[in-house]
Amino acid sequence: MRFDLPHLPQIIRPHLATAIAAGGAIFLSLLLAAAPHTVHASSKRVQAVGAAVFHDKGCQHCHGADLTGTDRGPDLSTVGKKWHKGRIEKQIREGGNGMPAFGDVLQPDEIKSLVDYLSAKRKPAHKGIAPKAPAPSVPAKPSDDDSGD
């Protein structure tokens, strides 16, 4: 179907479709920009829920309270950098490589919370470093004026 627009100058008619498409694209991008954004797994609330599940369900017994691992389980402080969410979830559900399966032990929402929490772990944890001992104080040399008289 062709529209006849006699009231528009001959020069504008060929560019009308392009102008309408560009205007539509601008409108759509403004609409999307104004839409509410999804909450990402890195939000503080999601992190707190995942951390609580990690500690409440005893994950720290094998992976350490700070996620740096123990002799029973590997370091998870950067697991989100190494593994995608699907792989983390499969490991939790099915176990493997020395880890027992937790698919029948944890509720689906607990697994999701753990996956969101662990997938956000991308930087190594700061391991506790013992503070330096203060330098021993050196007693001042007695001056010649301190004769004790």
Task: Render pLDDT for 77-132 as a digit per residue (tens, 0 to 9).
Answer: 999 999 999 999 999 999 999 999 999 999 999 999 999 999 999 888 765 544 44
Residues 82, 118, 108, 48: what is their CA dihedral angle, to the nearest 10 degrees?
-170
Q: Dump pLDDT digits (tens) for 3-59.
A: 565 665 665 656 666 777 666 667 667 766 665 544 454 578 888 899 999 999 999
Dihedral pair phi/psi, residue 41, rounded to 5°: -60, -15
Residues 6+ apart with CB under 8 A from 67: 75, 76, 77, 79, 121, 125
Instruction: Give domain 44-119's CATH number out of 3.40.50.300, 1.10.760.10, 3.50.50.60, 2.40.50.40.
Output: 1.10.760.10
Going from N- to C-terminal start, the domains of the chain cover 44-119
Number of C-beta neighbours around residue 118 at 10 A = 25
Q: Are 78 and 121 in contact (CB under 8 A)?
A: yes
- How would DSSP label each residue in 28-43? HHHHHHHSPPPPPTTS
